Chain A
């Protein structure tokens, strides 16, 4: 018994450097931001002061500009996640089920190539593709499909496209892993037991892929809420995201209190999303399990 608890303690001690690092460079700084958010900007030349504490910055942050930008960001992130899901599910299914297993490793590696290319550079690639004087625009005009140059760069559509592109691999990978783990045998069993393709799809494949769907959706949605790089490359003046507003408060406006309040609201929103998605997942799973439970009756003698 004593040996065990000592072992437990030494295992815990092994993680001490990780603990210390996270506390010192993550918990304390984020805690400071929370503290700053209750302060105010005393005058033009001082970034912030905490001599009186209030929730005023949160009220101030809730102005129409912030709210409309927030809703804009939310729409782009929500729609982006949805499109990634709609593209990612059949694609991951194809990779995990249809493709011969010897090719699978290679295909996963290929999906990873964009992921290993610099984020900004990929986005710049789209800027060239979508440019009004670019080769796609010229080709479309020469073919007579368009009368004038394409006008998609610096619009919301361009931001949406770029966002889907940049985060699609993050959706595909967890989906692929969960579908691959589920294996063929369960689907075959379902077919052997007389389920048709759709029933197998909805009652076997998708429930098994559910953890992948959830983690993929969160992996796409969360970084997307904070990302403003894609939007500023492809959206120009149209691409204002919440992250940009927060950055502006620290870079140009030098109002740490207001910027901190915005950052805290963004963070709280994301955490709430994670909690709600997790809760919905657990509830649905519980309901499904309850409905699908198999009652084993006592054999009537």
Chain B
């Protein structure tokens, strides 16, 4: 990142032949650069077109989402008054919070352990493979495998909490986001020095203190990014949710998916617009927190992207 900044100052004063040549070189590159900029902007337009459309159509006063009638806030008012919509949004948010908490705890433990594992420790290799396997498993396979398991846990084994719709959503979503959190935390911890922890140990910090005063603050940006990621993954999930859901605990995407078969109303766009705004606010808050921790903007973007 810093390489771009570093390249120039020394060359600035000396207009050597090489410098002139490089200026000429830059001029010759211009058409390509301009074409790439145009291309980049077009791709951004492509990426934002449907989102913008949803946002605009959330002000549609018509009965059907796709048929524009006029501008108004009816959809927002109707959505706020619709108990089924309110319930499903609430279910989704609760499930997302639960998933974020559970998968962040499990993923942080896994990530810390993997980052501290000795090179080529057998358990670490197997755990990494297992996590990678959860990542490459298609959602539909997760869905059809966990539903019969939930049913037999709930009925044959008598573990009744699993019959609760919310528990099912959280447990199933966590399976899919644990790997993401683990890998983000591991990436974060691999870049840091173990000497800090060793120093703390040498200074007679108890393992407990060492963990909470040294390890956790270092891992914090990764943990935060992982939590955010699992929150969104859960909020987004349609396929697994539609399998494991229990009537009365229908999450928002499943509600949309079933509305798709009947008729799509502007309320869906209105709620989606609000949820997008909330997500962006949450993202901005996380980005601010990371910046205050002293991360650069590219690093923040990368951490949030989980890369």
- Chain A residues proximal to chain B, CB less than 8 Å: 8, 11-12, 14-19, 21-22, 25-30, 32-33, 36, 87, 90-91, 93-95, 98-99, 101-102, 104-106, 108-114, 116-129, 131, 133-135, 165, 168-169, 173-174, 176-177, 180, 183-185, 188, 191, 197, 218, 222-223, 225-229, 232-233, 243, 246-247, 250, 256, 259-260, 263, 266-267, 270-271, 274
Q: In the assembly, what is the distance between CA of A104 and CA of B301, in Å?
A: 9
The answer on a CB contact under 8 Å between B140 and A263 is: yes
Using Cβ atoms and an 8 Å threshold, which residues of chain B touch A188? Answer: 7
The answer on a CB contact under 8 Å between A266 and B141 is: yes
CB of B65 to closest CB in A, whole Å: 7
Segment at the interface with A among B31-39, B75-83, B216-224? B31-39
The answer on a CB contact under 8 Å between B65 and A29 is: no
The answer on a CB contact under 8 Å between B50 and A18 is: no
Which chain A residue has the least Cβ–Cβ distance from B284?
A: A109
The answer on a CB contact under 8 Å between A128 and B54 is: yes
Interface residue SS majority, chain B? helix
CB of B290 to closest CB in A, whole Å: 11
Q: Which of B57, B135, B140, B238 has the most C-beta atoms of chain A within 10 angstroms of its own C-beta?
A: B140
Of B1, B36, B236, the contact of A180 (CB 8 Å cutoff): B1
CB of B143 to closest CB in A, whole Å: 7
Of A12, A25, A184, A228, the contact of B175 (CB 8 Å cutoff): A25
CB of B156 to closest CB in A, whole Å: 12
Using Cβ atoms and an 8 Å threshold, which residues of chain B touch A17? Answer: 105-106, 109
28 A-B contacts, Cβ less than 8 Å apart? A12-B124, A14-B113, A18-B127, A18-B178, A22-B131, A22-B134, A91-B40, A91-B43, A108-B302, A109-B287, A109-B304, A113-B48, A113-B51, A116-B283, A120-B257, A121-B269, A124-B50, A126-B50, A127-B66, A133-B67, A222-B135, A226-B141, A229-B238, A233-B260, A250-B147, A250-B243, A263-B140, A266-B141
The answer on a CB contact under 8 Å between A108 and B143 is: no
Of A12, A21, A128, A131, the contact of B117 (CB 8 Å cutoff): A12
Which chain B residue has the least Cβ–Cβ distance from A27?
A: B130
Given A18-B110, A25-B174, A25-B175, output 20 extra A-B contacts at Cβ < 8 Å.
A15-B123, A17-B105, A17-B109, A25-B172, A28-B149, A33-B141, A33-B144, A94-B40, A95-B40, A99-B40, A101-B5, A109-B301, A113-B280, A119-B238, A120-B256, A168-B47, A173-B305, A226-B138, A246-B141, A247-B239
Of B5, B36, B148, B280, the contact of A93 (CB 8 Å cutoff): B36
The answer on a CB contact under 8 Å between B138 and A270 is: yes
The answer on a CB contact under 8 Å between A229 and B121 is: no
CB of A5 to closest CB in B, whole Å: 9
Given contacts A125-B50, A129-B49, contact A104 B298 (CB under 8 A): yes
User: Is residue B90 within 8 Å, beta carbon to beta carbon, of the partner chain?
Assistant: no
Q: Which of under 10, 10 to 19, 20 to 34, or 35 or more describes the interface residues of B?
A: 35 or more
The answer on a CB contact under 8 Å between A243 and B51 is: no
Using Cβ atoms and an 8 Å threshold, which residues of chain B touch A183? Answer: 3
The proximity string for B residues 258-280 relative to A, scoring 1 for CB distances below 8 Å and 0 otherwise, is 00100010001100100110011
User: Is residue B208 within 8 Å, beta carbon to beta carbon, of the partner chain?
Assistant: no
Given contacts A15-B123, A25-B146, contact A122 B50 (CB under 8 A): yes
Given contacts A108-B302, A125-B54, contact A18 B136 (CB under 8 A): no
Interface residue ranges of B100-140 to A (CB < 8 Å): 105-107, 109-110, 112-114, 116-118, 121, 123-124, 127, 130-131, 133-140
**Shortest beta-carbon contacts, A-B, top 9:** A226-B138, A125-B50, A105-B297, A15-B113, A108-B301, A18-B110, A29-B145, A29-B149, A14-B113
Q: In the assembly, what is the distance between CA of A17 and CA of B36, in Å?
A: 48
Q: In the assembly, what is the distance between CA of A26 and CA of B177, in Å?
A: 12
User: Is residue B300 within 8 Å, beta carbon to beta carbon, of the partner chain?
Assistant: yes
Interface residue SS majority, chain A? helix
Using Cβ atoms and an 8 Å threshold, which residues of chain A touch B3? Answer: 183-185
Of A101, A111, A134, A246, the contact of B1 (CB 8 Å cutoff): A101
Using Cβ atoms and an 8 Å threshold, which residues of chain A touch B127? Answer: 15, 18-19
CB of A72 to closest CB in B, whole Å: 16
The answer on a CB contact under 8 Å between B50 and A21 is: no
The answer on a CB contact under 8 Å between B298 and A124 is: no
Q: In the assembly, what is the distance between CA of A30 and CA of B137, in Å?
A: 10
